[in-house]
Amino acid sequence: MSAPMVYDPGGYELDEDQKRVIRWTIYVGYIALLAGIFHGLAQALSYAKIDILGYFPGLRGYYQGLTAHGIANAIIFTFSFANGFLPLMTARATGRQLLRSLLWLSFGLLVLGNLLVIYAVVGNKASVLFTAYAPLKAHWTFYVGMALVVVSTWVASANMFITLARWRREHKGERIPLLAYISVFSYAMWDMASVPIAVSFLGLLTPWTLGIIPKIDPLLTRTLFWFTGHAIVYAWLLPAYVSWYALIPRQVGGKLISDTYGRVTFLLFLLLSIPTGLHHQYTDPGVSPTMKAVQGVLTFGIMVPSLATAFSIMAALEMGGRANGGTGLLGWIRKLPWSDPSVVAQLLAMLTFVLGGATGFVNASYVMNQVVHNTTWIPGHFHMTVGSAVAMTLMGVAYWLIPYLTGRQLWKPKLGVASSWIYTIGILIFARGMISAGLEGMPRRIYRAKATYTDPAWDLGGILTGIGGTLMFIGIALFFVVIAMTVIAGKRGAGVPADIPFSETLAPPSTTGWDTNLDRIKLWVAVAIVLIALAYGPFFIMYFPARFISPGFTGF
């Protein structure tokens, strides 16, 4: 692959010791992903009325597995990756080393949090699903473990902020490098967004499960969950966007068209990701429809940065394809590096994200949401966002990142390409099944193989879910073979990326004028806090005092 348009920054080395911690942080995520996909397979097959739960030794119920699947794949996998990836990007973009102490602290908290959650979930003490709606009551190790995972992300953020602050002290008057900017904004958004869930888990649910407070407020804890819970999907998505904006253009031999638009996109995510959570509660009694409508409008607002992303990334891809000799209206698509497993995984991820975004539009739509709320439409949607756009991007990144971190060549890249194609075909079949059956009212989160009710209209959707889910499982299993063999048996030496492939923009960022205001991180965080206060303030003012009315239930 020729990449004549790209300037090679080069000359940067991250300490071996820091590489090791980052590597192990990301391995924690892969181990979680591996554990979670077995449950995913069982759940997809259950929708096709095939019950393989009996083959899971030690598993005491369907919902225990569903809890494990959600936490392992949606929380641990994504945040372990981001905890390693985003600080690494910040370090590379600023050409600095990270703080060793904070790297280890973040890793330690992540592992400790995981051990507590594993203890709770494996022992069937916390089969409350990852949403953990009270008054279903889990063991304290579950809430504290989840909170520690959140704290590990804060420590990883601190590492990035301090690294960037040190760089800025030495580079007065310079613009923040784009890659550092978008990485830091991703976690700055998440740091604000994660406060409500930390307050709920540590301040309310832990004292309740320990018996310090006898009863809990179900609507308050649910609202605090979704206060974090919509922004969490952007916390999953933004590390993938970092790769699409700053790495993929170079990997395909193109450039990012506009530095300013990259920054504006991440700024809009910082401002709008959080004051939108009530659209997950459109069907909740006890929440005023006016507040729901306000956040519904803001939810439409957050589609703008994703629309801008679609333009910028497509433009960068087209530029790369044409630089590689592509001609005509669509001829450049063929000239993209379709043999590079890292690129293929992410191109296919973008494809599924178009469908994921379009279905999300329905979820966000005020009264239309009632047609699909809590049906299988919803998991159909989010398996096309976090379950493929994000997951496949993180897999695609791994195809260069793991060789970079281990100093070993990628083992059988062709198998990596095959993995992505199989996974994509799988997700399209799976989502088609879940979405069509969801429109017929098939509920999500049910053990369908043993359900006492059914509807013939759900059968085709259920079967497609089972077939698609099986293909997804095979696709990811191949990914694990490639990565595990790379780590164990990859050849050292030539062919190992010595540096991180990040791109430049067509024009450098301007150092004068309005653009420079984009770099005023503290100002924008303050604006975001004002927006959040406006969107959530009225709800809490009208809601308080809290109503501690429900004792706990543990019917699992």
Partner 1 sequence: MKVHTYEKAFLIAGGVVLLLCGSALAYATFGMNMHLPGKVAQIDPMKVWQTPPFTSPGVHKTGDDEYDVVIVAMAWAFMPAEIRVPRNAEITFIATSADVIHGFEIARTRVNMMLIPGQVGRLTHVFREPGEYLLICHEYCGMGHHTMSGKVIVE
| Residue ranges in 203-232 that form contacts with partner 1 under rule CB under 8 A | 217-219, 222
Picking from 180, 36, 188, 64, the residue whose alpha carbon sits closest to that of residue 126 is 64
User: What distance in Å separates the CA atoms of residue 535 and residue 541, rounded to the nearest whole number?
Assistant: 11
User: Taking CB under 8 A as the rule, does residue 549 contact partner 1?
Assistant: yes
230 part of the active site: yes
Q: Which of 39, 96, 222, 381 is catalytic?
A: 381
User: Taking CB under 8 A as the rule, does residue 95 contact partner 1?
Assistant: no
Q: Which is nearer to partner 1, 40 or 84 (CB)?
A: 40
Q: Which is nearer to partner 1, 219 or 434 (CB)?
A: 219
Q: Which of 445, 447, 480, 547 is catalytic?
A: 445
Q: Provide the β-strand partners of residue 443.
A: 375
Contact 244, 393 (CB under 8 A): yes
Picking from 273, 484, 458, 454, the residue whose alpha carbon sits closest to that of residue 377 is 458
Radius of gyration for the alpha carbons in the chain, expressed in angstroms and rounded: 23
Tell me the Ramachandran region of residue 59: left when phi exceeds 0, alpha when psi lies from -120 to 50, beta otherwise: beta
Q: Which is nearer to partner 1, 283 or 327 (CB)?
A: 283
Using the contact rule CB under 8 A, the part of the chain among 104-112, 148-156, 336-344, 362-370 near partner 1 is: 362-370
404 part of the active site: no
| Residue ranges in 370-389 that form contacts with partner 1 under rule CB under 8 A | 370-371, 373-375
User: What distance in Å separates the CA atoms of residue 330 and residue 328, rounded to the nearest whole number?
Assistant: 6
Site string for partner 1, 385-424 (x = CB under 8 A): ----------------------------------------
| Residue ranges in 307-346 that form contacts with partner 1 under rule CB under 8 A | 307-308, 310-312, 315
Picking from 233, 230, 355, the residue whose alpha carbon sits closest to that of residue 280 is 230
User: Taking CB under 8 A as the rule, does residue 257 contact partner 1?
Assistant: yes
CB of 494 to partner 1, least distance (A): 40
Site string for partner 1, 115-134 (x = CB under 8 A): ------------xxx---x-
Please give the structure tokens belonging to residue 437: 């059956």
User: What distance in Å separates the CA atoms of residue 307 and residue 265, rounded to the nearest whole number?
Assistant: 9
Q: Which is nearer to partner 1, 129 or 188 (CB)?
A: 129
222 part of the active site: no
User: Taking CB under 8 A as the rule, does residue 292 contact partner 1?
Assistant: yes
- To 10 degrees, the CA torsion angle through 343, 187, 196, 145? 70
381 part of the active site: yes
CB of 198 to partner 1, least distance (A): 21
CB of 315 to partner 1, least distance (A): 8
Using the contact rule CB under 8 A, the part of the chain among 82-90, 299-307, 399-407, 465-473 near partner 1 is: 299-307
Q: Which is nearer to partner 1, 329 or 494 (CB)?
A: 329
556 membership: H or E segment, kind and range: none
User: Taking CB under 8 A as the rule, does residue 286 contact partner 1?
Assistant: yes
Contact 163, 96 (CB under 8 A): yes
Exposed / middle / buried, residue 283 (Cβ in 10 Å: 0-12, 13-18, 19+):
exposed
Exposed / middle / buried, residue 195 (Cβ in 10 Å: 0-12, 13-18, 19+):
middle
Q: Which of 51, 459, 515, 519 binds partner 1 (CB under 8 A)?
A: 515
User: What distance in Å separates the CA atoms of residue 223 and residue 284, rounded to the nearest whole number?
Assistant: 10
311 part of the active site: no
445 part of the active site: yes
- Show Cβ contacts of residue 154 under 8 Å, excluding neighbours closer than 6 positions: 191, 194
Q: Which is nearer to partner 1, 239 or 357 (CB)?
A: 357
Total residue count of the chain as it appears in this document: 556
- Number of residues in contact with partner 1 under rule CB under 8 A: 74
User: Taking CB under 8 A as the rule, does residue 538 contact partner 1?
Assistant: no
User: What distance in Å separates the CA atoms of residue 374 and residue 482, rounded to the nearest whole number?
Assistant: 36
Burial string for 158-179 (b: 16+ CB within 10 Å, else e) reads bbbeebbeebbeeeeeebbbbb
Q: Which of 15, 17, 61, 530 binds partner 1 (CB under 8 A)?
A: 61
Q: Which is nearer to partner 1, 134 or 391 (CB)?
A: 134
| Residue ranges in 429-458 that form contacts with partner 1 under rule CB under 8 A | 440-448, 450-453, 455
Q: Which is nearer to partner 1, 19 or 49 (CB)?
A: 49
User: Taking CB under 8 A as the rule, does residue 52 contact partner 1?
Assistant: no
Q: What is the DSSP letter of 440?
A: T
Catalytic residues, by residue number, are 230, 234, 381-383, 444-445
